[in-house]
Structure 1
Amino acid sequence: MAKDTTGRLHVTVKSAGKRKLSSKLWLERQLNDPYVAKAKREGYRSRAAYKLIEIDDKYRFLKPGLAVVDLGAAPGGWSQIAARRVGAINGKGKVVAIDLLEMPEIPGVAFAQLDFLAEDAPEKLIAMMGGRADIVMSDMAANTTGHRKTDQLRIIGLVETAAHFAAEVLNPGGTFLAKVFQSGADAELVAQLKRDFSSVRHVKPASSRQDSSERYVLAMGFRGQRNQP
């Protein structure tokens, strides 16, 4: 072990057996990430919890009594924060989380193992919530191929689909938050979000890794669909 520039001990993982370089680097990053350690100490499912904390501390959209949909929720870090901030743990707000993977139970969170791309997903979520959502949030990332242009198209496609999904289930005045990468959401998506929401901005919380191109698009003040009751 050696100390890094902050004086903390830096753990180096040895290459062993069939471990790939990418796996070695990921493991090193996890072992040396202060937010990973902090999440374990404070009982959060993932370091991603701190990203949502930072964004909401600044823009304050997770208000008591609101209904939240968390897309691609596993392992549940964002759902934990949402449940606390909207009061779902005390029965005030609601949090509905969905993922293709199973997710252990979280107090105040209703979970469904569901593909949000399925045609009946919006209808199922509205039924679970007993109405429409006030917030749709997504920390999902598309599987990468290593080919930059292909990966960017996959990411954009996933965010565009999540935004379309949000437009189907949000109440007027609602909020949409989603992970994007590199330069952020592409121009066409931003233009669409600006038509659908009163304010659209990109945010990068301090808890995002410095070497990561990750950022988030935050759209607030949903104007509502024309065909929405």
Structure 2
Amino acid sequence: MARKKSSTSKGSRELHVRVKTAKGRRLSSKLWLERQLNDPYVLKAKKEGYRSRATFKLSEINEKFHLLKKDMHIIDLGCAPGGWLQYASNKIGIDKGKGSLIGIDLQEVEPVSGCTIIQGDFLEQEMMDKLKQLTPNGKADMVMSDMAASSTGHKQTDHLKIIGLCESALWFARQVLNPEGIFLAKVLQGGTEREILNDLRKDFKVVRHVKPNASRKDSTEMFVLATGFRGEN
């Protein structure tokens, strides 16, 4: 690994970390590692004690739209590695016994102080039964999801896979959200994301696309944000 430096009147200044190509390391792996080492959000997450750079996607969206409030009951789908849980727990007052924050993921996730983490499939009835014991009447004020499927490298396939995850998260949200509830989920641009928006408008008062600065500029990633769940008539 090498650091490329630039000289100024004040001396040398580090600009970019370059990774040498090791034997057996593919170019794609080298480029990914180099991007990680130079990503300001990766460095910021490490400095502030967050588990991933994705934390700042939620923080930027929240700072703009003021979603997270004290005493809320929130469910985080696909919560690994836990960065969103860390951020949200501070905002809703978990440390003071306010609200509740539940993370659900297929894989095991390291504990986050004050949060309940469940390993399992959020689409199974068993999960719904557990939620009834963990939240008031099994309901929540917000469902959020940063879920993403493993990339295939084929843009349209990846787009359809993540849209499928968003649709599953939306189905879940419709089962558990309180009236005026919030839904936030990741999608990829690719054509069919507008169908999601139209579907959301059936049950939410305000629906929009959001692309936080923490989403990489060269990525088609964005989020759908729906507020004002109409709930049962």
Is the TM value for this pair above 0.5?
yes
Q: Which residue of 1 aligns with 2:150?
A: 143
Q: Say which structure is richer in strand.
A: 2
Q: Which residue of 2 aligns with 1:112?
A: 118
Structure 1 residues 214 and 184: CA distance shift in structure 2, 3 A: farther
Shift of 1:184: 7.5
Residues 1:200 and 2:207 are matched in the alignment: yes
C-alpha distance in structure 1 between counterparts of 2:63 and 2:57, whole Å: 10
Larger radius of gyration: 2
Shift of 1:147: 1.9
Question: Secondary structure in 1 aligned to 2:225?
Answer: strand
Structure 1 residues 165 and 184: CA distance shift in structure 2, 3 A: farther
Q: Which residue of 1 aligns with 2:45?
A: 39
Tell me which amino acid in the other structure corresponds to 1:153. Answer: L
Shift of 1:17: 2.4
Structure 1 residues 85 and 39: CA distance shift in structure 2, 3 A: same
Gap runs ≥5 in structure 2 = 7-12
Deviation by residue 1:145-193 (Cα, 9 ceiling, x = unmatched): 1222221111111101101111111101000000111257623221110
Q: CA RMSD in A?
A: 1.7
Residues 1:74 and 2:80 are matched in the alignment: yes
Contact 1:133 1:171 in 2 (8 A): yes
Gap runs ≥5 in structure 1 = none
Contact 1:51 1:208 in 2 (8 A): yes
Contact 2:159 2:187 in 1 (8 A): no
Q: Is the deviation greater in 15-24 or in 62-71?
A: 15-24
Residues 1:177 and 2:184 are matched in the alignment: yes
Identity of aligned residues (%): 55
C-alpha distance in structure 2 between counterparts of 1:133 and 1:160, whole Å: 18
Deviation by residue 1:176-216 (Cα, 9 ceiling, x = unmatched): 00011125762322111001100000111112111221111
C-alpha distance in structure 1 between counterparts of 2:51 and 2:118, whole Å: 17
Matched positions, count:
224
Q: Which residue of 2 aligns with 1:92?
A: 98
